[in-house]
Amino acid sequence: MNSHVEPPPKREMGCFAKGCLLLLVFGILLVIVGVGGTFWSVRNVYLSDKPALAPETAPPTETGAVTPGETTAPAPSERSAEVRERLDTMKKAARSHEESEVELTAADINALIAANRKSSGTASVGINDTALQAQFSIPLQKLDVPFRNALGLGDRYLNATVTIVAPPGTNASSVQLSEVTLNGHTIPAGLLDWGLPGVGRSLRTYVIKYANQFGVTDGEIRDGKVILHTSGH
């Protein structure tokens, strides 16, 4: 007799997967237009016809990528599986109202990016003591941006860098971007709190959504790591 076998649950795509990349691109473009930019400037000033280099591995200056006794660092797929397991453990702790902590190095975050086919090659992260810098090089052709083809943006790339400094006690409602550049041009770092034209919500609402998804109550960046906490309440 044949028994019914339940399909394995689908693993949730992380913040660097297609949905978040689309949100990032669409949000930034709407913000630029909303503060007085034109579609000509979006295409020719803030977007590029060439990709920026976005290495998928951690910067060579990062230490601690190889644990004692190892001669080589784990493959990205192996590291990403281990990181996802730690994040799942944190999520379970949050649901059980338990205190927990997860430390993420740049190599951990880059492994998550590289292991997802939607985000692989589009972003990389480096952490220098107390600052995290994320580099994005996203081909608009890879994403279903609503007005991409109508405005001739299919051959353009969104090349951006975002720097974040998070002292102890920082949460999703208080985290700030300290520097944002788009194709080499500085744009206001307060864009997390700007309402997206035609959408109403700000990018921060989605930051809060992802924090709640994993039960993160606060975090910090120090000693070259992103440290996330659940409070147990």
Picking from 94, 76, 95, the residue whose alpha carbon sits closest to that of residue 84 is: 76
**Where do the DSSP E strands lie in 74-224?**
99-104, 123-128, 131-139, 157-165, 177-182, 185-186, 218-222
* Contact predicate 79/111, CB 8 Å: yes
Q: Give the pLDDT band (50/70/90) at residue 98.
A: very high
Mean pLDDT (the chain, rounded): 76
CA-to-CA separations, 90 to 39, 100, 166, 221, in angstroms, rounded: 43, 6, 20, 18
- Most confident stretch, 34-38, 39-43, 62-66, 143-147: 39-43
Q: What's residue 20's pLDDT?
A: 57
For helices 203-213 and 18-34, the axis angle rounded to 10 degrees is: 160
Least confident of 39-48, 78-87, 100-109, 132-141: 39-48
* 42 or 130, greater pLDDT: 130
More confident residue, 128 or 188: 128
Q: What is the mean pLDDT of residues 99-109?
A: 95
Q: What's the burial of 124, exposed, middle or buried (CB within 10 Å: 0-12/13-18/19+)?
A: buried
Q: Classify strands 218-222 and 177-182 as parallel, antiparallel or unpaired.
A: unpaired
Closest by CA to 37, choosing from 170, 205, 151, 206, is 151
Q: Biggest alpha carbon distance in the chain?
A: 67
pTM: 0.76
pLDDT, residue 75, reads: 65
Give the orientation angle of helix 76-95 with respect to helix 106-115, to 10 degrees: 100
Of residues 158, 118, 155, 103, the one with CA closest to residue 134: 158
The answer for residues whose C-beta is within 8 angstroms of residue 130's C-beta and 6 or more apart is: 165, 166, 167, 221, 222
Neighbours of 153 (CB within 10 A): 20
**Per-residue DSSP letter, 140:** G
- Interval 72-94: pLDDT, tens: 556 667 889 999 999 999 999 99
pLDDT > 80? residue 111: yes
Read off the amino acid at residue 1. Answer: M
- Please name the residue that has the structure tokens 């039960």: 215
Mean pLDDT of the region 122-149: 82
Most confident of 5-9, 13-17, 105-109, 121-125: 105-109
For residues 146 and 126, which has the higher predicted lDDT (pLDDT)?
126
| pLDDT confidence of residue 10 | 43
Q: Give the highest mean pLDDT range of 43-52, 74-83, 187-196.
A: 43-52
How far is 123 from 114, CA to CA, in rounded Å? 9
Sheet holding 131-139, edge to edge: 123-128, 131-139, 157-165, 177-182, 185-186
Cα-Cα-Cα-Cα dihedral sign, residues 127, 129, 132, 135 = negative
